[in-house]
Structure 1
Amino acid sequence: MASPALPEISKPKIVDGPGGYVLEDVPHLTDYIPDLPTYPNPLQDNPAYSVVKQYFVHVDDSVPQKVVVHKDDPKGIHFRRAGARQKVYFHSDDVHACIVTCGGLCPGLNTVVREIVCGLHHMYGVKKVLGIDGGYKGFYAKNTVYLNPKVVNDIHKRGGTILGTSRGGHDTSKIVDSIQDRGINQVYIIGGDGTQRGAALIFEEIRRRGLKVSVAGIPKTIDNDIPVIDKSFGFDTAVEEAQRAINAAHVESESFENCIGLVKLMGRYSGFIAMYATLASRDVDCCLIPESPFYLEGPGGLFEYIEKRLKEDGHMVIVIAEGAGQELLSQSIQSTTDASGNKLLQDVGLWISQSIKDHFSKQKMPINLKYIDPTYMIRAVPSNASDNVYCTLLAQSAVHGAMAGYTGFTSGLVNGRHTYIPFNRIIEKQNKVVITDRMWARLLSSTNQPSFLRPSTNLLSNENGSQKSSDKKVTH
């Protein structure tokens, strides 16, 4: 049986203005459904907002992607500013919304679910909100949970997601069939880059069928590897929680002679958690991330540095991201992928632990090594105060956007302002640490570790084009 054809991808909406102004706009329901009726925004009669001046966002408000410019630079790329509009394209009584969470766990998932439900209910009077149980697969299995403020009242205090989640299982046509059969007209999709790719295809199929359905994404990745946005929710919590593991490794290493505390943190392709946790800790002697190659043997290698640290201090702490050093491991299972299409990485923590032990055993230098892998402990914790606030604003921005008729967008923070970003910009690449950037230099200065770069390494070729996004990442 032939696979169903993928929906045709619509062209990006680009609005040009004087002085080099470029707005990368998001789709709107009126782009393919003409003459839609509008309604006054219920917030104008909401007593909670009666004291707010200019609460409604101006139709032309936009946020620049690049905040550092020179006097002769063009105005550059902008994104539509998020927030409530004076007119909405859904009557509150007619809204039937659904929420789905996909991919791996991340602190803050429940908070986002809670605030979408409460935002729809308290700000717009929406009573019909459905939770899709089990990720995208839940659309097929017809697993649903009815959500209201009472059901979600305390869920932000728990880790994980009350809706359940899964990887893979994405059949666009079946999902849109389910949306259409249920009479759903607002879809809130919480997930990482793979999930947002799926959301983009769902939007395109909805557009092709001419359905009045808004599709809003909330970007989720604990690795902080989604481009354009300042940071992803759950990242602050992950960095904070990683401190516990690093502190434990530091205590262990100080308590034994020639002891190495080794901590493996998340970071499949991007080393942001490892980098920020290292900078926050100040107890780390070496941080290894996927973006910065390293080698073990010979002058300037990792083994030489470890030996130097142990002889000088008697102990050290190493933080390694899960995707670091994969090129040094065997290639036997790297071609294997999970249900989301991600490569299944070998456990670099166990490998490097054994490599260090074997090396110093040959050198007749006795060492102690304590290996800590807190990965699933970090993923499963509730979000901290800072992420709770961020999740609230992301969720409310998504609700405002969907009610205003925008669709095919992700809500995200750009230069400290909440915006609506088209799906194509979110899924075009992964954001990575740029090792020619100031933040990585700050880390090297903090740990006093060598760069581990061989003389022949071309830094300028590292993640070509990533430098632009790194400008914002250093402001976390």
Structure 2
Amino acid sequence: MNIDQFSAEDFHVQTLGDCAITTPLVHTYDTPDYSHDFAKDDQRVLFDASVEGFRKAVESGEEPISFEVAGPREKIYFTPANTKAAIVTCGGLCPGLNNVIRSIVMGLYYRYGVQNIVGIPYGYQGLNPAYNHKFINLDPEVVKDIHLFGGSILGSSRGQQDIGVMVDTLVRNNVNMLFTIGGDGTLSGAHAIAEEIKRRNLKIAVAGVPKTIDNDVNFIQKTFGFETAFTTAAPILRDAHNEATGAYNGVAIVKLMGRDSGFIAANAAMAMPDVNFVLVPENPFELEGPHGFLPELKKRVQEKKHALVVVAEGAGQNLFENLSEEEVKKDASGNIRYKDIGLFLKDKITEYLTKEGMDPTVKYIDPSYIIRSKAANASDSIFCSKLALNAVHGVMAGKTDFVVGRWHHSFTYLPIPVCTKTRKKININGDLWWSVLETTGQPPMMK
């Protein structure tokens, strides 16, 4: 991430107005000993917590970039009894969606006394009356067991909807706060909704809970579902390794999620260190030549008689023929539909090793949709709950057009635009990638 393109001011979160209402969290148990530990708006977490970064800030005399600390405020903006909240999940499925929905409902209902809560079905489609999707009433009884299941009880969808129409729907249904759970496209949509709300001078708060299984949201150390994803992938890699070793000159290829960032592939490989090659979008490679992938794979198979290759879905797109702008296909969210690198590698590996007289057995495994629909593991479940509750605290304090994240082990509030400007990627000169190289033994560059 290029921090130089931002200023300290870019990281200040918008609010709907002054907070004048004493939060219900004060003296929850009618005794000062049990009052909540409140956060303040001027509490911030430094982006760069190093001594070098501190000295640089002192020398420049400029305010260092920092993020607002998340958490409950002693004064809130909304009157709970008069407040209506809405929750929407968008984009692809991801472990933990139901956990976030549940925790938002529980936090609003029990912590703040907001009892008018609805779910918007099938993503942003649910805010467009043309689809005739009916809102779903949510309360603790409805959501009590949903964390046990993968997917989203609200359903999801991709694609853009008319911003004005969506805001009209919020106004018509007297919604005061909108919780959007999704990735880059969802957050961009949430920002557009917040901008239209601001243009109309409405008092509706918009919050984002970052959902991307690829872990590629800027200025957020981890997104929910990511840990469940690579934890679920690890035993699949073990089984793929067993498959590869079960055949003479056996090669197993496992394709994992990661359109533009290879965090799942990298972490799954380190969690199951039987992987011999990890191919990610951040590190382009060539098939042949002195340092090409195929010659390196051949060396491995000749020596050990088997190999396990993990490839992120967005890796190796440079190996396909360039298409004209008219030929490039996109999904409903406007993302380019990448070519299937897994099938491509299966064919190329089989062709190359056969030509080299090695008679290979090549197996290709794509567990992506199984992983996406898993229920959250224990660690992700806790993380989802904390993200959701901090989103609730922020919205109740009148904060808007923000996303809740975590940085240096603290939960934070960030303006949505700074998180969607670019994607977080693996630094191929950093510790994560070099740990992958040391685990797999593959050469740093295959060109």
**TM-score category of the 2 structures, normalised to the smaller one:** over 0.9
Query: Contact 1:295 / 1:452 at 8 angstroms: preserved in 2?
Result: no
Structure 2 CA distance for aligned equivalents of residues 98 and 366 of structure 1: 58
Corresponding residue of 1:472: none
Alignment of 1:96 onto 2:84: yes
Structure 2 CA distance for aligned equivalents of residues 167 and 48 of structure 1: 46
Structure 1: give runs of 5+ residues left out of the alignment. 1-12, 16-21, 31-35, 455-476
Structure 2: give runs of 5+ residues left out of the alignment. 1-5, 58-62
Within a 5 Å distance, the mapping from 1:262-277 to structure 2 comes to: 262-277=253-268
Cα deviation, residue 386, structure 1: 0.6
After superposition, the Cα gap between the structure-2 partners of 1:253 and 1:142, relative to the gap in structure 1 and judged at 3 Å, is closer
Q: Which amino acid aligns with 1:395?
A: A
Cα deviation, residue 57, structure 1: 0.9
Corresponding residue of 2:113: 125
* TM-score, structure 1 normalization: 0.88
Q: Which amino acid aligns with 1:227?
A: N
Alignment of 1:384 onto 2:377: yes
**Per-residue Cα deviation, 1:286-314 (whole angstroms, up to 9, x for no partner):** 00001101111122111111111111111
Corresponding residue of 1:138: 126
Alignment of 1:351 onto 2:344: yes
**Per-residue Cα deviation, 1:136-191 (whole angstroms, up to 9, x for no partner):** 01111342100000000010110000001000132110000000000000100001
Structure 2 CA distance for aligned equivalents of residues 313 and 23 of structure 1: 53
Cα RMSD over matched residues? 1.8
Corresponding residue of 1:444: 437
Within a 5 Å distance, the mapping from 1:356-367 to structure 2 comes to: 356-367=349-360
Corresponding residue of 1:402: 395
**Per-residue Cα deviation, 1:81-111 (whole angstroms, up to 9, x for no partner):** 1111111111111110000000000000000
Q: Which moved more, 1:373-382 or 1:45-54?
A: 45-54
Structure 2 CA distance for aligned equivalents of residues 255 and 387 of structure 1: 34
Alignment of 1:116 onto 2:91: no
Corresponding residue of 1:47: 29
Structure 1 CA distance for aligned equivalents of residues 135 and 36 of structure 2: 38
| DSSP 3-state at the match of 1:276 | helix
Structure 2 CA distance for aligned equivalents of residues 72 and 91 of structure 1: 44
Within a 5 Å distance, the mapping from 1:74-89 to structure 2 comes to: 74=57, 76-89=64-77
| DSSP 3-state at the match of 1:418 | strand
Within a 5 Å distance, the mapping from 1:169-248 to structure 2 comes to: 169-248=160-239
Structure 2 CA distance for aligned equivalents of residues 425 and 313 of structure 1: 47
Query: Contact 1:49 / 1:55 at 8 angstroms: preserved in 2?
Result: no
Q: Which moved more, 1:70-79 or 1:438-447?
A: 70-79
Structure 2 CA distance for aligned equivalents of residues 67 and 231 of structure 1: 18
Query: Contact 2:11 / 2:418 at 8 angstroms: preserved in 1?
Result: no
2:49 to 60, 67, 77: 67
Structure 2 CA distance for aligned equivalents of residues 242 and 49 of structure 1: 48
Structure 1 CA distance for aligned equivalents of residues 143 and 29 of structure 2: 23
Query: Contact 1:23 / 1:80 at 8 angstroms: preserved in 2?
Result: no
Structure 1 CA distance for aligned equivalents of residues 429 and 7 of structure 2: 31
Q: Which amino acid aligns with 1:206?
A: I
Q: Which amino acid aligns with 2:214?
A: D
Query: Contact 2:127 / 2:166 at 8 angstroms: preserved in 1?
Result: yes
| DSSP 3-state at the match of 2:179 | strand
| DSSP 3-state at the match of 1:262 | strand
Cα deviation, residue 23, structure 1: 7.7
Within a 5 Å distance, the mapping from 1:396-475 to structure 2 comes to: 396-454=389-447
Cα deviation, residue 53, structure 1: 6.2
* TM-score, structure 2 normalization: 0.93
Structure 1 CA distance for aligned equivalents of residues 345 and 33 of structure 2: 59
Structure 2 CA distance for aligned equivalents of residues 425 and 276 of structure 1: 25
Query: Contact 1:14 / 1:25 at 8 angstroms: preserved in 2?
Result: no
Q: Which amino acid aligns with 1:26?
A: V
